[in-house]
Structure 1
Amino acid sequence: MANVILQKKQEKRKKLLDSSYELFVEKGISNVSIAEICQKAGIAKGTFYLYYASKEDIARALNRRISFTLMQKAYDEINRNRKDSFVENVITMADFIINYFSTDTETLKMMRKDFIFPLTVDDFDNSRNPLMISLRKEISDYAQVSGFSNHEILFRLYSQLSMIAGICHSVMIDHFPDSDINSLKPSLFDMIRKAIRP
């Protein structure tokens, strides 16, 4: 019985997130009301507040979900094109994210430069999610050769992913600087290498 209740809660949370995503992409976050989200999800408005405190709260939850999905896809790309260098694998991840946003500017617009690492540091350290386990191992292995602590590598990796999302938004949505994102890749990748190498 408890599993059925938990499953129904997860389904409602997913319906709210999916409905929010569709409406935010279509209208922009500021032009969507909680009532619209609930109506689209087929869920009573009062139920919304059992899962999210506000529209900004659900927007952050969406960004967390998008960020996690994007990290998973980027990590899959690393595994398809794995190199011996941790730094060059991070470049592969960065390149994938840039290319992803180039083809999905609606999601980029909705995220508003807000790439979110999907877990707190404590949750990351204890997560049983296969992606997080793999990332922990890669970070730990790189810590042994780089002289950085695991925490410092995680911070540097997260800061680079956030920078990429922010620059993609600036270039692709705000058109600043007035450049093609591909022409900026060499400079971006050079910054990433400098930030992650010891």
Structure 2
Amino acid sequence: MKSKILENKKQKENKLLKSAFDLFTTRDIDTVTISEIARHAGVAKGTFYLYFKDKDQIRNILISRESRRIFLNAQKALEENDIRGFEDAIIFMINHILMELKKNRSILAFIEKNLSWGIFSDYVQNAFADDELHIKNDFIQLAKKNHYQFKDPEVVMYIIIDMVGSTCYSSIINNKPLPIDQYKPYLFDAVRAILRTGKTNEE
């Protein structure tokens, strides 16, 4: 009986998340109301507050989830390719992410410049601990294997992801400073330059 109640609660939560995602990615978020999210999900407005504090909270959870999904896709693509070099692996993942965002601008518009939330948000770290997204550990292990050593690898990761998320949002959405295909070579050079700060002389 208890498991059935929990299952029903989870179904309602997922309906609300899907409803909010559908509305947020097709409308201006500021115009979407909690009443609409609940109605679209087929539940009472009061039910919304059993799961979420407000519209900002559900939006932030959805951004974190969607960003995480994009990283998972890039991680899986990397695992399917025989790319062993540290810098090449990072560039491959970034390029995969950019291609996905270019293909689906409504998702990029929703995420805005918050791509790093897919790895670093409190929601992702609390909700998906020890799950299949192991980019942080892979980054550290691949760096060591290829003789790169960073004082704080997570900070380096954050800098790169945040730079990619913020500058590529402008490039894909507004073609500023350049359209994304023209901008990528500059971005990749900048990422390699950051990564090479950790390159050691060991071979």
Q: TM-score, normalising length from structure 2?
A: 0.85
For the residue of structure 1 that corresponds to 2:118, the secondary structure is coil
- The answer to whether 1:38 aligns with 2:38 is yes
User: In the aligned structure 1, how far is the partner of 2:124 from the partner of 2:30?
Assistant: 32
Report the equivalent of 2:17: 17
User: In the aligned structure 2, how far is the partner of 1:123 from the partner of 1:26?
Assistant: 28
8 A Cα contact 1:157 1:196, kept in partner: no
Q: 1:93 to 1:141 in 2, by over 3 A?
A: closer
Report the equivalent of 1:71: 71
Structure 1 unaligned segments of length 5 or more: list them.
Answer: none
Residues matched between the structures, number = 193
Range with bigger deviation, 158-167 or 137-146: 137-146
Report the equivalent of 1:26: 26
8 A Cα contact 2:64 2:123, kept in partner: no
Between the two proteins, what is the percent identity of the paired residues? 29
Report the equivalent of 1:186: 185
Q: How many Å apart are 1:176 and its aligned residue?
A: 2.2
For the residue of structure 1 that corresponds to 2:25, the secondary structure is helix
The structure 1 segments of at least 4 consecutive aligned residues displaced by more than 3 Å after TM superposition are 117-124
For the residue of structure 2 that corresponds to 1:128, the secondary structure is coil
Q: 1:43 to 1:127 in 2, by over 3 A?
A: same
Tell me which amino acid in the other structure corresponds to 1:175. N
Q: 1:49 to 1:139 in 2, by over 3 A?
A: same
Report the equivalent of 2:148: 146
CA offsets 1:59-84 (integer angstroms, 9 cap, x no match): 11010110110000010111122311
Tell me which amino acid in the other structure corresponds to 1:195. I
CA RMSD for the aligned pairs? 2.3
Report the equivalent of 2:130: 128
Report the equivalent of 1:106: 106
8 A Cα contact 1:74 1:97, kept in partner: yes
